[in-house]
Amino acid sequence: MTIKNSDLTRLGWLYYHHSLYFISTTERNWTASRDDCLERDADLVVINSREEQEFVNRLGGDHWIGLSDRDPEGTWKWVDGTNMTSSFWGRGQPDDNGGGEDCVATSLGKGWNDATCADLKPWICEVIVVDYLEAELNKEVMREEKAPQIYVTSSSETVSMGDTAIFSCRARGRPQPTIQWLQDGRLLETDGTDNQPESVVRMDGEDLVLRGVRSGVETFLCMANNSAGTANHTVLLLVYEVKPDGWLYYDHSLYFISTTKRNWTASRDYCLQRDADLIVINSREEQEFVSRQAGDHWTWIGLSDGDTEGIWKWVDGTNMTSSFWRRSQPDDYGGEDCVSTWGDGWNDAPCAYLNPWICEKVLDESHGSSGS
């Protein structure tokens, strides 16, 4: 940031050798004079050189400067807390005339004089330009603050039990936001042992690493903070267990993912023969789990409108309430009464098509989680 002399003139301050100076046109005692300077984010002038003293002399008049011996008597200190090292006392000064002359003023050609702090005089304020620029820059930064915006994050991860899951979260804003991860309102802290099998590890304050995950669904919150505000984003961890017979255990159900293709009816028969049925999808979490398992294949699920056209029912006899149709679906293009899923949602298709399928067996918790 560059300050021009014309800018300083408009501000009502004078520029000399890396400092700005304000010369009052009224009179106050030394304390009130200093208060005025402080209100201007400055202080009474501190004179560090003969050149600066000569500059002050050229301003004319009799002005308070930032020097006193009020604490303690006889020890002259500047308002910035430094001891006086160089001095420009007038002849016979300081004399503490009659006692109580604890504040210093300077006048044209006569140097410094100690005077009673209650005397009324004009004064000179000073601010170093570097400090001024820093203050202005800080004000500019404050004006340009922007609340956090999360722009890179995982929405969900589906992994096998015992594996490692990684969630990323990135945010922009001004100042740069800090990232924190929470679970159930509890702040997750790094364990600092990246080579150990602890379940939770924070990396770089942005990535959440979960080791040795357990079967089920867990929710985590990425929270981005800066002085301008807060943003947050919820992510889901979906963990399934691979059973010895090839079934997957996930959130109180067993799932079988076929590796061959059949029509919808034959796919359902396969499931029924194993005391299961085509999958009934009850939540977005389960849909995301299914999408991960289906991979790059259209996969039959247990939904159709074969009994009554346009009335979509699950194989357990319940009506469809929540749906995850792809754009423009269902369209019943040429008699499409059965539903398959892939990627981000469902599509109605002819039931005679050959697709892989997913069986589901809902478990009674009292019977444990063994598959057949």
CATH number, position 178: 2.60.40.10
In this structure, the answer to whether residues 116 and 204 fall within a common structural domain is no
Q: Which CATH number goes with the domain that contains 77? A: 3.10.100.10
Q: Which residues, in sequence order, are CB contacts of 290 under 8 Å at separation 6+?
A: 279, 281, 299, 301, 341, 358
Query: Could you tell me the pLDDT band of residue 372, with boundaries at 50, 70 and 90?
Result: very low
Among 210, 241, 272, which residue terminates a domain? 241
Residue 77 domain-assigned (yes or no):
yes
Residue 285 domain-assigned (yes or no):
yes
Residue 287 domain-assigned (yes or no):
yes
* Residue recorded with tokens 């003139």: 9
Reply yes or no on whether the pLDDT at 265 is more than 90. yes
Residue 82 domain-assigned (yes or no):
yes
In this structure, the answer to whether residues 43 and 101 fall within a common structural domain is yes
Long-range contacts of 361-367 (CB under 8 A, 24+ apart): 361/247, 361/253, 361/254, 361/255, 361/274, 361/275, 361/276, 361/277, 362/252, 362/253, 363/252, 363/253, 363/254, 365/252
What pLDDT score does 11 carry? 62
Average pLDDT over residues 189-206: 53
Query: Could you tell me the pLDDT band of residue 200, with boundaries at 50, 70 and 90?
Result: low
In this structure, the answer to whether residues 236 and 337 fall within a common structural domain is no
- Domain containing 195 equals 146-241
Do 122 and 63 form a contact (C-beta atoms < 8 A)? yes
In this structure, the answer to whether residues 10 and 119 fall within a common structural domain is yes
Do 288 and 281 form a contact (C-beta atoms < 8 A)? no
In this structure, the answer to whether residues 133 and 29 fall within a common structural domain is yes
Residue 299 domain-assigned (yes or no):
yes
Reply yes or no on whether the pLDDT at 235 is more than 90. no
Based on the structure, what is the number of domains in the chain? 3
Residue 37 domain-assigned (yes or no):
yes
Q: How far apart are CA 24 and CA 44, in angstroms?
A: 11
Two tokens, residue 255: 């799932």
In this structure, the answer to whether residues 18 and 133 fall within a common structural domain is yes
In this structure, the answer to whether residues 182 and 100 fall within a common structural domain is no
Residue 70 domain-assigned (yes or no):
yes
In this structure, the answer to whether residues 191 and 121 fall within a common structural domain is no
Do 311 and 321 form a contact (C-beta atoms < 8 A)? no
Residue 372 domain-assigned (yes or no):
no
What pLDDT score does 134 carry? 58
What pLDDT score does 206 carry? 74
Query: Could you tell me the pLDDT band of residue 5, with boundaries at 50, 70 and 90?
Result: very low
Average pLDDT over residues 7-14: 59
Average pLDDT over residues 306-334: 90
- Count of CB atoms situated within 10 Å of the CB of 206: 19
Average pLDDT over residues 180-209: 64
Query: Could you tell me the pLDDT band of residue 198, with boundaries at 50, 70 and 90?
Result: very low
What pLDDT score does 203 carry? 52
Going by their DSSP bridges, the two strands 14-16 and 19-23 should be labelled as: antiparallel
Average pLDDT over residues 340-364: 90
Q: What percent of the chain has pLDDT over 90?
A: 31
In this structure, the answer to whether residues 319 and 279 fall within a common structural domain is yes
Q: Which residues, in sequence order, are CB contacts of 280 under 8 Å at separation 6+?
A: 301, 302, 303, 314, 315, 316, 318, 360
Among 90, 108, 141, which residue terminates a domain? 141
Reply yes or no on whether the pLDDT at 199 is more than 70. no
Among 241, 272, 300, which residue terminates a domain? 241
CA dihedral for 247, 251, 253, 256, sign (positive or negative): negative
In this structure, the answer to whether residues 203 and 117 fall within a common structural domain is no
Average pLDDT over residues 190-209: 57
Which of 29-38, 180-189, 352-361 shows the lowest mean pLDDT across its residues? Answer: 180-189
Reply yes or no on whether the pLDDT at 172 is more than 70. yes
In this structure, the answer to whether residues 10 and 134 fall within a common structural domain is yes
Average pLDDT over residues 333-355: 90
pLDDT, averaged across the chain: 82
What pLDDT score does 35 carry? 95
pLDDT digits (tens, 9 = 90+) for 283-311: 888 888 888 888 778 999 999 998 888 89
The pTM of this model reads 0.45
- Count of CB atoms situated within 10 Å of the CB of 214: 12
Helix (H) or strand (E) holding 122: none
In this structure, the answer to whether residues 58 and 26 fall within a common structural domain is yes
Query: Could you tell me the pLDDT band of residue 261, with boundaries at 50, 70 and 90?
Result: very high
